[in-house]
Structures are given as structure tokens and as C-alpha cells.
Amino acid sequence: MSFKGKVAIVTGSSSGIGAAVAMSLSAEGASVVIVGRNEAKLAATKAKCANALVVRADITIDADARRIVQQTIEKFGKIDILVNNAGNSILASIFDENIMESYDFTMNINLRAVFRMTSLVVPHIIKTKGNIVMISSVTGRSTSFGAQAISYAVSKAGLNHFGAYLAADLAPHGVRVNVISPGPVYTDLIENSGYDGSYDVLKFHTALDSVSHPQEIADLVLMVANDKAKSITGSNLFCDNGWMIKRY
Ligand SMILES: NC(=O)c1ccc[n+]([C@@H]2O[C@H](COP(=O)([O-])OP(=O)(O)OC[C@H]3O[C@@H](n4cnc5c(N)ncnc54)[C@H](OP(=O)(O)O)[C@@H]3O)[C@@H](O)[C@H]2O)c1
């Protein structure tokens, strides 16, 4: 699946799903912009990409978001693909003292930063008639992850509707927007968020009794971001080992 001549920004590509997406796009010929905060992890992704620009940035800071877009245009002259992948969470239930800390932190990175990045990229992506991919989660449509994930789940539900709304707004401009909703994936996110369950518990919630590897999500991102998917817009594609259809 060729991405020759395409320029893609992948937020949160210093690790996990984003790193797999950046490496896969690069392997298929795209110029990629690798974005994250951790210098060592950014360098590790860059080492596996052929034509890459690293922008060390915190996408929750507006000036950093502007710098990502500005440096991309300076280096590559255009933007064809934006993958809004960076995400994070502080887990807390509605009964916990720190619920508003959890809400503010999670919404800031999972939703506000996505709005900010997208609004800055839109004028450029209209010129190329490119496309945008949002990395959401099954939690945006299900309650199975448990009470601690309420802020995360609500942020991803918001992201789902942002994707659908944006798809309608940008369709007249020839720009596609799609959402991908993974189930559990082996990455740093789950441990970093303070989740205290095991991957076996997460497997139990899937019909296929399985947890994905980041490459499986990257493969789907490449499928929808490719020009061959020219009729796919406003979709929310699940890549979840059957999390959504599990019978208990
Ligand atoms: N793992 C799962 O089970 C799972 C399931 C469904 C959906 N997802 C979604 O998949 C996406 C990627 O997560 P992952 O699982 O691959 O986790 P990950 O390995 O922890 O990756 C998260 C990425 O986001 C970046 N990031 C976080 N905050 C940032 C900020 N303020 N500014 C810039 N970059 C930031 C991190 O980079 P730095 O640390 O370098 O800043 C890292 O590259 C997220 O949106 C997540 O919600 C994950």
C-alpha cells in the first residue's frame, strides 16, 4: 500500500501504537513527522523511519502544537495525513477525591489537544485533499473497562463524535476523517494510567480472548489513510478482538 510522496503527522509516535503507525507509513514511502515528549523514545522511532522529522512537543501546549505544524510545512511543504493518536489518562472513579484532576488531565490531552492540532492542520489538509485518523477506544462506546475509566471513556466518546462531525464539515472540501477504536493493546499506556488489573482480565473482556499488538492497529490506520479508501469517511472502525460483541 503506497504512501509515496505523502506527508504524515503522527502525534504520540514516540511509543506504542503511534510508533508502529509512523514506522509503517515510513516503510510505505511517506515522510513522517514524529511527535512526543520523551527524547529517547522519539530517537528510537526515528531510527526506524527513512524520511522523518522529529518534533519534541507537548501537544497540550498551544505554542507546541503550532510549532509542529510550522516545522512540518518548513521541512516538507504540505500535510496529507494527520493521525491524532497521542492520548493518556489518570484513572479515577466518580467516587474518588481526584475525579476532577482525572477529568481535566484526560480531556486536555485526549480531546482539547486533538481539537487544537486538527484546527491548525485543517487549512493545510484541505489543500492536499488529505485525511485525518483519530485513535479512539472501545471505552468510547462501552462501560466494560470499569468505573475508574470514566474520564477516559467520556473523552473517547467525545472524540468519536468530533470525528463524525468533522467528517461532515470537511467532506465538501474533499477531506476524509475516520476514527479507529482499539480494544486492549500491549503498550505503556495501561500501566502508566495506573490500571491495576492484568492483561488476562482485559483478554477476558474480548470475544477472541486476545490483546492486540500495536502493529495490528497500525495496519488498520494505513488501510483507512490510504487513497484506496477514498469512499470511507465518518466511520468508526473497531479493532478490538470482539470486545464490543463479547457475551457474558
Ligand atoms: N493501549 C491500549 O490498550 C489502547 C486501547 C485503546 C486506545 N488506545 C489509544 O491509543 C493511543 C496511543 O496510546 P498507546 O496505547 O500507544 O500508549 P503509549 O505507548 O503510552 O503512547 C502514548 C503516546 O502519546 C504521547 N503523548 C502523551 N501525552 C502527550 C503530550 N502531552 N504531548 C505529546 N505526546 C503525548 C506519548 O509520548 P511521550 O510520552 O513521548 O510524550 C506516547 O508517544 C491513545 O490515544 C490511547 O488512548 C490505547
Listing DSSP states for 152-214 in one string gives HHHHHHHHHHHHHHHHHHHGGGT-EEEEEEE--BSSSHHHHTT--S-HHHHHHTSTT---B-H
pLDDT score of 195: 82
Contact status, residue 69 vs residue 120, Cβ threshold 8 Å:
yes
Query: For residue 82, what are the β-bridge partners?
Result: 9, 132
pLDDT at 46: 98
> What global pTM score does this model have?
0.98
The reported pLDDT for the residue numbered 192 is 84
Q: Is 152 in the active site?
A: yes
Q: Which pLDDT value is given to residue 1?
A: 82
pLDDT, tens digit (0-9, with 9 covering 90-100), for 135-147: 999 999 999 999 9
188 lines ligand 1 (CB under 6 A): yes
Low-confidence ranges of the chain (pLDDT < 70): none
**Residue 25 host element (H or E):** helix 16-27
φ, ψ for residue 124 (rounded to 5)?
-80, -40
What's the pLDDT score for residue 197? 79
CATH topology of domain 7-183+215-239: Rossmann fold (3.40.50)
Rounded distance between C-alpha atoms, residue 10 and residue 35, angstroms: 6
CB of 56 within 6 A of ligand 1: the answer is: no
Q: Tell me the best of 37, 117, 145, 189 to mutate to test the pocket of ligand 1, counting ligand atoms within 8 Å of each CB and taking the most.
A: 189
Ligand 1: centre distance to CA 172 (Å) = 31
The string of pLDDT tens digits covering residues 155-211 is 999 999 999 999 999 999 999 999 999 999 999 998 787 787 789 999 999 999 999
Q: Give me the catalytic one of 103, 152, 195, 199.
A: 152
At residue 194, the pLDDT reads 78
In 3-state terms the chain splits into helix, strand, coil percentages (rounded to 5) of 50, 15, 35
Please state the atom number of ligand 1 nearest to the C-alpha of residue 185: 3
Query: CB of 18 closer than 6 A to ligand 1?
Result: yes
In the chain, domain spans: 7-183+215-239
Instruction: Out of 34, 41, 88, give the residue to mutate to test ligand 1, the one with the largest number of ligand atoms within 8 Å of its CB.
Output: 88
Rounded to whole angstroms, how far apart are CA atoms 84 and 95? Answer: 30
What pLDDT is attached to residue 14? 98
Rounded to whole angstroms, the Cα distance separating 31 from 8 reads 6
Is residue 71 within 8 Å of residue 48, measured between CB atoms? no
